[in-house]
Structure formats: structure tokens, C-alpha cells
Amino acid sequence: MSDSEETVREIRINPIVPSESVLVATARGMRPRDAEERMERNAEAHVDRCPFCTGNEDKTPPTILAVPGEKDWQIRIVENLYPVLGDDRIDSGINFGLQQAIEGYGRHEVIIDHNNHGIAIHDMEVTHLQTLFQTYRARMKQLYESDERIRYVLVFKNFGAAAGASIKHTHSQIIAMPVVPENVYNEIMHSRNYYQKHHQCIFCAMIDEALTFEATIYDRNSGEIRRRIDVGQYVVERGEKFIAIKPFASRYEWEVHILPLNHQSDFINCPDEDMEDFANVLKRTMKRLDHVIGGAQYNFFLHSQPHGETCADCPPSYHWHLEICPRTSIPTGFELGSGLFVSTISPEDAAEQLRAVTLD
Ligand SMILES: [Zn+2]
Ligand SMILES: [Zn+2]
Ligand SMILES: [Zn+2]
């Protein structure tokens, strides 16, 4: 039995956000309910009644941005038909004692990722993925510049009904909001604290640790002390400028994060020449995930430095990244009640399985 096949039962603290932890329990008895059914992939390139397919442009709200152009678009940004935030004024006027509210100001837009209806991210050309992320970047920049009340622009993708997608045509979303969302805020606060103590970015430290990790292990039975050096144990994919890592304390069993190898706090400043490598690492990572957990439903989202005074001192301490969270199981009452996510596969084992996939 190799190390990775041994039963693991431990509570792991997320190094970036210590208030988040995960219970890694690979013993069978801990297995939560069956994974969501695998989604049958609809690989059709064009569906006549789909509002996001070519020829049906008049069935969506007006185009905000079309790439390369309106007529031959491959990527299109439109307003969300059912926005969760908008720039129209709906002021609840609540500001009473413990009931404090901030006006739901913001923007909610849909990015039609590709003119091909059923294409998966891992089947898109690297050049297309590069353009897609450059389009995210351009729109994020425009939104931040359009209104100084915008504190955070979140780009995310829901793929599959279990991940919250209501339209099957491949798409992602942008929400610009007047507050920094809690998940990002927590990462910022902790990485700032870490920076003040260690004068180093915690994400850069985590990348270094993922590449080489030395541990001293005390064996309870023999009393033997040995040193273990892990090289690349958490690395799923490595490009020239980007790395895909299986986090040590992943909330989702197949969760993978992609980060720039060199320190960069704001995705908006990611140069074009780096985007190609990012697109390549993303494609290869998604391919690996598809091989191992084929047809899985997932969310991905970009975490980047917020704008505004909350984050004036973030550039040296925060490090942008893409979190990919496949939804292979549904959170149980234990997880919702405790906030402790259960992982029935050890992150080391998951990383090894993902690395073992042979890609052409
Ligand atoms: Zn479609
Ligand atoms: Zn960093
Ligand atoms: Zn994050």
C-alpha cells in the first residue's frame, strides 16, 4: 500500500483562510450520498431554439461586447435577462437597528463563451480560451472604470444543472458589485496578515511548498523520525507561467486552482503574452478532470484583487487565481451544519490520479 492509499481521517485547515477547514475521511463509512448523476453532454454545435446560438441574437438582451465583431462573433457579452444586481434604483430603505442594507447596485452580465452550443472548455482551442479570458479581463476593466462604487467584479461559470446553470449553451457570468464578497475578503485579510508577519505572499509560499515540501514525520509505533520530501505532490499541471494545484485542504474533492507562478495580484494586469500559457494550463487541467470524472458539473470563478480603498495595500500580499470546483457530491446536513466539508478522497490521491492521465 502506498502512502496515498492509506486511510486518511483528519481535519485540514485551509492555509489561506484558516476559518475554513475540511474533513478528509477516506474510509468508506464516511462516504456521503451518491455523487450527482453524471450529466449527459449535449455535444450539438447548434440548437435552433437556443437564445445563445448564432442567428438568435434578437432573443437576448442587447449585445454589450462581441468578439471579434457583431457579425462573426465567437464570444458575446449581453445583459442578464434576470439580473441579481442592476443599476436601476430599487431602494428598500432599510436602515434600522440591526437591519442594515446596502443598495443592490451593480451589473449582471452573461458571456456566451463560444458560438458552438455544446462545446466543452477542454475542447475549445487554446487561442479561443486565451481570447475568452482576455475578454473577461477587458470587461472587468471597463466595469471598474465605469463606476467608482464598484468594489468587486466576479467572473464565474456554472456548468451543469447541479452547478446552477439554467441554460445549456456554454456561458459564464460577470457580476459587478458594490461590496467585496466575503470569500475574497477573507482571503485578502489573511494574506495581508501573513504578509505583515512573513514579508511574503502566502500564495507564492503555497506554490513553493507545492513544488517542494519537506516534512519531518514521527512514527507513533516505531518512534522513528524520518524526513519526507515531496516534490510536486500537489501539482496537477505546470506551464511556463502558470501552475494548477490541488489544494491541501480542498472543499471539493476534485477542486483545482490555477495561479500565476510569478506574483500577480490583479488579473486585470495579466499581460497578453501570459494569457496563452494560462489558456493552455486551463485546457490541460480541464482535460485531466474530464478523463478522471468525465461529464462532471462544475463551477469556476476568478479571485482577483478588489478595487477601492479596502485593497490599497493588496498588491504585494494578494495573488489572483482561478478556482475550479467540480460538483461530484451534494453537501450533506453535516457539511451545511458544521461548515466542515467532507472529502472522501485525499487531495494527494486526487492529484496523483489527475497527473496520471496521459494527454496528447
Ligand atoms: Zn446554443
Ligand atoms: Zn504571490
Ligand atoms: Zn480564492
Cite the beta strand spans of 219-330 per DSSP E.
225-231, 235-238, 242-245, 256-260, 298-303, 321-326
Give ion ligand 3 contacts, CB < 5 A: 303
Q: How far apart are CA 286 and CA 300, in angstroms?
A: 11
How many helices (H) and strands (E) the chain has is answered by: 6, 17
pLDDT of residue 8: 77
> What ligand has the least distance to the C-alpha of 167?
1
What is the 142 CA–ligand 3 centroid distance (Å)? 22
What is the 119 CA–ligand 1 centroid distance (Å)? 10
DSSP string, 148-182: TT--EEEEEEEESGGGT--S-S-EEEEEEESS--H
Question: What three-state secondary structure class fits 337?
Answer: helix
Map out the domains of the chain with their CATH numbers.
54-87+100-356 (3.30.428.10)
pLDDT of residue 175: 95
What is the 143 CA–ligand 2 centroid distance (Å)? 25
> What ligand has the least distance to the C-alpha of 16?
3
In a structure prediction context, what are the per-residue pLDDT tens digits for the chain, which is 360 residues long? 344 456 778 899 998 998 888 988 886 544 544 444 566 666 789 999 999 999 999 999 999 999 999 999 999 999 988 787 777 655 666 666 767 667 777 899 999 999 999 999 999 999 999 999 999 999 999 999 998 889 999 999 999 887 888 889 999 999 999 889 999 999 999 999 999 999 999 999 999 988 887 777 777 777 777 777 777 889 999 999 999 999 989 889 999 999 999 999 999 999 999 999 999 999 999 999 999 988 789 999 999 999 987 788 899 999 999 999 998 888 888 888 988 888 889 999 999 999 999 997
> What ligand has the least distance to the C-alpha of 265?
2
Closest CA to 193 of 310, 314, 302, 303: 314
What is the 201 CA–ligand 2 centroid distance (Å)? 4
Place of cell 464570444: 75
What is the 59 CA–ligand 1 centroid distance (Å)? 11
Give ion ligand 2 contacts, CB < 5 A: 201, 203-204, 263, 319
What is the 169 CA–ligand 1 centroid distance (Å)? 4
